[in-house]
Structure 1
Amino acid sequence: MESSHDTLLNVTLLNCFLVCVVVVIHNEALMRLSSFLPKMRRSHHFRLTFAVLGCLTAHALQVWIFATAFYFMHNAQGWGQLVGNFNGSLLDSVYFSFTTFTTLGYGDIEALGALRYLTGIEALTGFLLITWSASFLFLEMQRYWPTR
């Protein structure tokens, strides 16, 4: 049987790995958007719409990464579980991940055990990545929207 020290170490390592993966994905998405947008020969409205859709796509991918971790942790022994309005499906894990990533947190699904740590780190990570996207989009708006 695994000790609580080993479980905490494993949870910490998994959380760090997931945060690194989603941050790298987000950085890559914003860097690619940043280099691609100036090359687009479309209106500034189209470029900004494309940038928003690119950010949303990156966030959706990040949510699915966390959701996959929730799903496997819930179904594995010793990682905790998700309870409440949760049937154990991957789609319920995605729903829980979306509400956690956006810090909306309806509360209809609750994490127990080691899963609580991933829930907290996802909310913090989601908040930071969403604000990073907002900053990026603000700078793109300043670049492409005509001055008044």
Structure 2
Amino acid sequence: MLLATALNVLVVMTVVLIHYEALIRLSGFLARTRPRHRVRLLVTVLGVLVAHAVEVWVFALVYYGMHRADGWGHFQGNFDGSLMDSVYFSFTTFTTLGFGDIEPLGTVRFLTGIEGLTGLVLITWSASYLFVEMQRHWAFRYGASDTGADS
């Protein structure tokens, strides 16, 4: 149980660090290049999506390894043990969509719970970041009175 907790903490720390670095680097890139506002929003959305995809893959690689190793549990249902099934499971868990066609059994269940919570927090963080970027765009392009800031 201690090893599973340590693994969970390590994975969560890794994806949070990835997310933080992605947003910091994205902000720096946008500040240096100063793209047009529409391009800025497009780059921001795509950058955030790439960050989330990388984070999902981190969890998927851990699931894949846990499934193949003894003592960590396994998956049942529509799961053939492939890396792509691990990625699919990770995407549905990270987004809290959870189709339910793959069920984790054993110690691996703890990571699935923490992935759902982590995904929720990171997606919310991204939504906040995107909101601030869009607010900057609207305030610049339309003026503060049109954004609702004065009302």
* Bigger relative contact order, structure 1 or 2 (CA pairs below 8 A, ≥6 apart): 1
1:40·1:47 contact (CA, 8 Å) conserved in 2? Answer: no
Gaps of 5+ in 2: 147-151
Matches within 5 A, 1:18-97: 18-97=11-90
Deviations 1:39-66 (CA, angstroms, capped at 9, x unpaired): 3343211111000000000000000000
Task: Give 1:143 shift.
Answer: 1.1
TM-score, length of structure 1 as denominator length: 0.93
- What amino acid is aligned across from residue 14 of structure 1 in structure 2? L
Q: Distance in 2 between matches of 1:25 and 1:13?
A: 18
> What is the percent sequence identity of the aligned residues?
62
Deviates more, 1:35-44 or 1:90-99: 35-44
Q: Distance in 2 between matches of 1:111 and 1:54?
A: 30
Task: Give 1:82 shift.
Answer: 0.9
The corresponding residue for 2:9 is: 16
**Is the partner of 1:82 in helix, strand or coil?**
strand
**Is the partner of 1:26 in helix, strand or coil?**
helix
Count of residue pairs the alignment pairs up: 141
Determine whether 1:116 maps to 2:120.
no
Gaps of 5+ in 1: 1-7
Q: Which has the larger radius of gyration?
A: 2
**Is the partner of 2:103 in helix, strand or coil?**
strand
RMSD: 0.9
TM-score, length of structure 2 as denominator length: 0.91
